[in-house]
Structure formats: structure tokens, C-alpha cells
Chains A and B, each alone.
Chain A
Amino acid sequence: EAGVAQSPRYKIIEKRQSVAFWCNPISGHATLYWYQQILGQGPKLLIQFQNNGVVDDSQLPKDRFSAERLKGVDSTLKIQPAKLEDSAVYLCASSLPGTGGVYGYTFGSGTRLTVV
């Protein structure tokens, strides 16, 4: 089966610019996650979707980050305006609904964002 697709792989922007990342999960995986991985740290959950509804966005900096999954399939994560501390790898993952705790997640390759 095809894996979780993410694009772009790399992005360099200046601070205060905006940027968007795209993720297409595995077909049939209703649950989608966005994680932020800062260099030297473990992934931190930003937002969790179940179909097109938000399950958990408690750690999403809503003043600058937004995410949507309008049709319950692919998802977009946006940062506007970007700050230097947003430099990180943004990982998308998906799982079958209600099964993430049993089977784990499938991760994409990530988007490496550098803010200069």
C-alpha cells in the first residue's frame, strides 16, 4: 500500500513569511496527526483529526498555526507568520480510527522547515 505522502520535503523561508505543508494519509485511515519535531527533541503533537473533525489541538499555537482537513482525506498545515523557533521537521501520520493504540501510526517522511 502507498505510504503517507508529504510535500514539500524541504522549505526555507524568512521570518514573518507564511508557509503551508500538505499531507495525504494512507487510504482508509480516518485519523490524521501533525507532529512538530525540533532538532534534538522527540515529536510533539500539534493537532489530531478524526475524518474532518478536530479531536485534539490543545498544543497548536493558534495565533500563527492553522490546519484543515476539509474532505476528511488530505490535510494542510499552515504557519503565518513564521518565527525562527518554528524551524523543525513537520511530520504527518495516520492510523485507522480508534486503533492507533494497538497498531501505532504510519509516518510520512516529513517536511524540514528552516526559518531564517
Chain B
Amino acid sequence: AQSVTQLGSHVSVSEGALVLLRCNYSSSVPPYLFWYVQYPNQGLQLLLKYTTGATLVKGINGFEAEFKKSETSFHLTKPSAHMSDAAEYFCAVTTNSGNTPLVFGKGTRLSVIA
């Protein structure tokens, strides 16, 4: 079975500062990894995903994440935070079996301070 651990339920950064949201996964088979963002009263929007190939993946809104198999990590970063980045971020894992459902972490709430 797969699982995801997101370190830090709440992260606060200043506008323009580096954003780092941590995600570690557990999977007995090669994982597919995702980051989703959720704005208040909205559904989840896909930020980026890792399936195969390049381990550094770029997503929307300037976010990127690096798959590190040796560390079982998939941390999300953005060089410079913007006020509009304030939201809830979820890391999720599945496998290369198309019918395995996504398993989500508990989420990290990002606050951006002006």
C-alpha cells in the first residue's frame, strides 16, 4: 500500500522568499507522484506530476518538484513566493497500475506574508 507524509501542516513565508513544502512517500512499487493545490472553497487543481523520466518536474505558477528515490521524497519548491500562492497543498501517490486510486497526504497550508 502507498502512503504520503507531508511535514508541516502550516508553512509561512514572506513574499519573495523561497517556498519549500516537504513530501515523503512510501510505496513498494515505482510511484507516480503528484502535487495538487486547493484554494478556499474550490476543488483540487493539479500543479505537477512525476511519472517516469526526468526527476525534476516543472508545473504551473512557477512551481517545481524533484523526485529523489533514495530519499523517498518529492518536495515542492518555488523560488519566489507570491501572495496568490496562499492555499492548501496536497502531495499524492499512486502506482503505474491505472486503477490504483490516488492516496493523499494531510496537506500543508501555505501562508504568504506581505
Contacts of B105 in A (CB 8 A): 42
Report if A91 contacts B (CB, 8 A). Answer: yes
Closest chain A CB from B31 CB (angstroms):
9
Q: Binding site of A, secondary structure by majority: helix, strand, loop or mixed?
A: mixed
Q: C-beta contact mask, A6-44 vs B, less than 8 Å → 1, else 0?
A: 000000000000000000000000010101000011111
A56 and B101 form a contact (CB under 8 A): yes
The answer, among A31, A101, A104, A109, for a CB contact under 8 Å with B96, is A101
A97 and B98 form a contact (CB under 8 A): yes
Q: C-beta contact mask, A98-116 vs B, less than 8 Å → 1, else 0?
A: 1111111111111010000
Report if B25 contacts A (CB, 8 A). Answer: no
Report if B106 contacts A (CB, 8 A). Answer: yes
Contacts of B43 in A (CB 8 A): 4, 91, 107-110
Closest chain A CB from B52 CB (angstroms):
9
Contacts of A106 in B (CB 8 A): 46
Report if A48 contacts B (CB, 8 A). Answer: yes
Report if A50 contacts B (CB, 8 A). Answer: yes
* Contact residues of B between 29 and 77, Cβ < 8 Å to A: 32, 34, 36, 41-46, 49, 51
Report if B99 contacts A (CB, 8 A). Answer: yes
Report if B112 contacts A (CB, 8 A). Answer: no
Rounded to whole angstroms, the CA-CA distance of A3 and B10 in the bound complex is 30
Rounded to whole angstroms, the CA-CA distance of A91 and B102 in the bound complex is 13
Other A-B contacts than A42-B107, A91-B44, A99-B98, 18 sampled, CB-CB below 8 A, are A40-B9, A42-B90, A42-B106, A43-B90, A45-B101, A48-B99, A48-B101, A101-B97, A101-B98, A102-B51, A103-B49, A104-B49, A105-B44, A107-B36, A107-B43, A107-B44, A108-B43, A110-B43
- The contact sample of 5 A-B pairs, CB cut-off 8 A, is A43-B44, A56-B99, A93-B44, A99-B98, A104-B36
